Structure 1
Amino acid sequence: MPLLGALRRVLMAPSLDEVSFTGRAFSLDPTDRTRALEAIPQAVVTGFEWGIEDRDVATTERRLALVGPEHRGFAYEGATMACAIRDATGPRRHRVKTLLRGGGRDHIFLNYIGIGFAMAKLPRPLWRHLTPTLDTLDGPEFYPALRWLCVDGYGFDRAYFSTATWVDGQRRDTPYAFESHTRHTGYWQRAVDQGTGRALWFIHGGHTDRVGAAVRAFAADRHADLFSGVGLAATFAGGASAASLATLRHTAGPHAAHLAQGAVFAAKARHHAGHIPGHSHSALHALTGLSADAAARLADDCAPTGPGGDLPSYEIWRRALRTRLRAAGLFEHAGSRRPAGAPN
């Protein structure tokens, strides 16, 4: 490995022990469910190590292809994080673009989150080196409205690795003009909270009662976005029974549509990657009553077709999904029937 690559790895990469639940000092008993969740950040670290070490993106993609389909997207998160760090700190800034135009296209949702992980490790002045790359990924296959998932990833990283400050202390972040062509700095904290909600799912090992209590401990104006992140993590990563998720849906109360919207986004991401594990089918059904195919179609139907005006296109998309879910009353009666295509 070149000296600069070794230095980047030492400075930026957490170890497998550091991302484990024990390493993070999360108060969780080791069970099959928590061990399954714990494997996810470890897959991210593995992808990061490949991306930070390899001389070219093609080599990293060959390694990523060896990861099983359930965890491949998480490994791509880590690899994208590494590519973003190398782009921001090196002379040649093409690795993220190459990865996302190649094997990463199937995992575009998680790639954006990986860029957010890199943002959490880099000083803000270096973020400007990432914006031109994002601006070139403007084709519909790159879902440009989802670039706010970068901020979601940034929020997840903050909450997962500095829990005392960002979760216990409920710190709010300093806004940043993330979209160079807009002034949506007011949306920054909302996107950070969506990532924080995802982190709460891991911090509490998918125990829905503890996750719900953790969300309610935050200021009330943050609950909706936190629950959205919880719904996304619960559906994409798994870790809870259908009965527990049904209870969580009731705990969310007026924010149940946000929980359901997060679940739909997770199903769309899994569907786009071409592999939907059984736990994603089960969680989606418990939170929305939809099949994965139906959720993916719904997400596509609600996708924005142009700029969002006063709100980012990303939030226009999320809002349209919530409106459709409320109108159908799906999440209110989720779990009462088993949709076609869902496993037993």
Structure 2
Amino acid sequence: MGFAIRDALPFGRGDNISRFLAGRGQSHVYMAYVGIGWAMARLPRVLWTRIAPTDPVLRWLALDGYGFHQAYFHTNRYVHERYQHDRFPWPVEGPQWYANRVLDQGVGRALWFVCGTAPALVVKTIETFPRHRWPDLYAGTGLAATYAGGADESELRTLWDAAGDCRPQVAQGAAFAASARLRAGLVVPHNEVATRVFCGMPAAEAAQMSDGNRPDAPVRGDEPAYEVWRRRVANEFVSIGRC
């Protein structure tokens, strides 16, 4: 976030993000892109073009970060009033319909913290949203519960049981979290507990499930490559009988 703010300023080098990601930051690329979204939430929109990520797959993580920021710091509007943007202004080339999907994934991550890592309260809060938003909210919650921890195994099973039809998205979020932790060399015991509950496998296997399904070539059609990736991972858990 700090590098993105510096890059957006009308003076200075303007290449802090790129230099960071070319070095040690590459191990934390997912969190770095989320941090760009936090910066977008704090900057005038006219400056977004200076920091907008260009990776065709990962750039959507900036919107995940934006959604997290808004739900965490503007909780009444984005959580209790369930606000959604009519037409989110980024990315300019679209697809416009997908922006709110990724924003909701960030909102779902924030709910884990807004609700004090209490699965029953998280579920109750998600159920106040329109049902079509639940899969993305649960995906974000599964990611946060796995990455950040804060709940024991029985509590995580409460979340898993309540997710119902959204369990593939919870597993997908958990696999993404495992991948981020493994890439950074920061796998800790609570990550293993969560992937056992949500994915039915150790963190390393869940991370491989995520990494092995990432598109390695441009995706045709209107569906963003990031969503293709998410759907592939979710479907993989369905195909092995986990969900």
Name the stretch that deviates more: 288-297 or 251-260: 288-297
1:337: which partner in 2? none
Counting aligned pairs with the same residue, the percent is: 41
Q: Are residue 156 (structure 1) and residue 71 (structure 2) matched?
A: no
Q: Are residue 267 (structure 1) and residue 187 (structure 2) matched?
A: no
1:105-139 superposed Cα distances (whole Å, 9 cap, x missing partner): 110010000000000001111101113xx33xx5x
2 CA distance for matches of 1:90 and 1:280?
41
Structure showing greater Rg: 1
Q: C-alpha displacement at 1:177, in angstroms?
A: 5.2
1 CA distance for matches of 2:44 and 2:209?
38
1:125: which partner in 2? 46
Q: Are residue 242 (structure 1) and residue 153 (structure 2) matched?
A: yes
Counterpart code for 2:48: W
Q: Are residue 324 (structure 1) and residue 212 (structure 2) matched?
A: no
Counterpart code for 2:201: L
Q: Are residue 204 (structure 1) and residue 124 (structure 2) matched?
A: no
Q: C-alpha displacement at 1:183, in angstroms?
A: 2.7
Q: Report if aligned partners of 1:177, 1:184 keep a CA contact under 8 Å in 2.
A: no
Q: C-alpha displacement at 1:263, in angstroms?
A: 0.3
Q: 1:174 to 1:121 in 2, by over 3 A?
A: farther
Alignment of 1:73-112 (within 5 A): 81-91=1-11, 92-112=13-33
Q: C-alpha displacement at 1:103, in angstroms?
A: 1.7
Q: C-alpha displacement at 1:179, in angstroms?
A: 4.1
Counterpart code for 1:183: G
Q: What TM-score, normalized to structure 1?
A: 0.68
Q: Report if aligned partners of 2:7, 2:16 keep a CA contact under 8 Å in 1.
A: yes
2 CA distance for matches of 1:245 and 1:171?
27
Counterpart code for 1:288: C
1:287: which partner in 2? 198
Q: Report if aligned partners of 2:168, 2:238 keep a CA contact under 8 Å in 1.
A: yes
Q: Report if aligned partners of 2:88, 2:100 keep a CA contact under 8 Å in 1.
A: no
Q: C-alpha displacement at 1:328, in angstroms?
A: 0.5
CA RMSD of aligned residues (A): 1.3
Q: C-alpha displacement at 1:173, in angstroms?
A: 1.9
Name the stretch that deviates more: 111-120 or 94-103: 94-103
2 CA distance for matches of 1:171 and 1:179?
19
Counterpart code for 2:60: W
1:277-296 superposed Cα distances (whole Å, 9 cap, x missing partner): 11111111111111111112
Q: C-alpha displacement at 1:262, in angstroms?
A: 0.3
Counterpart code for 2:232: A
Q: Report if aligned partners of 1:197, 1:230 keep a CA contact under 8 Å in 2.
A: yes
1:199-254 superposed Cα distances (whole Å, 9 cap, x missing partner): 00001111000001111111111000000000000000001111111121111111
Paired positions, count: 241
Counterpart code for 1:275: L
2 CA distance for matches of 1:148 and 1:307?
15
Counterpart of 1:185 (choices 73, 79, 96) is 96
Q: 1:114 to 1:302 in 2, by over 3 A?
A: same
2 CA distance for matches of 1:233 and 1:125?
30
2 CA distance for matches of 1:290 and 1:257?
14
Q: Report if aligned partners of 1:173, 1:189 keep a CA contact under 8 Å in 2.
A: yes
2 CA distance for matches of 1:115 and 1:175?
20
2 CA distance for matches of 1:95 and 1:183?
26
Secondary structure of 2:48's counterpart equals helix
Q: Are residue 276 (structure 1) and residue 166 (structure 2) matched?
A: no
1:146: which partner in 2? 58
Counterpart code for 1:267: A
Q: Relative contact order (C-alpha < 8 Å, sep 6+): which is higher?
A: 2
2 CA distance for matches of 1:249 and 1:208?
9
Gaps of 5+ in 2: none
Q: C-alpha displacement at 1:184, in angstroms?
A: 1.2
Q: Are residue 176 (structure 1) and residue 88 (structure 2) matched?
A: yes
1 CA distance for matches of 2:213 and 2:41?
30
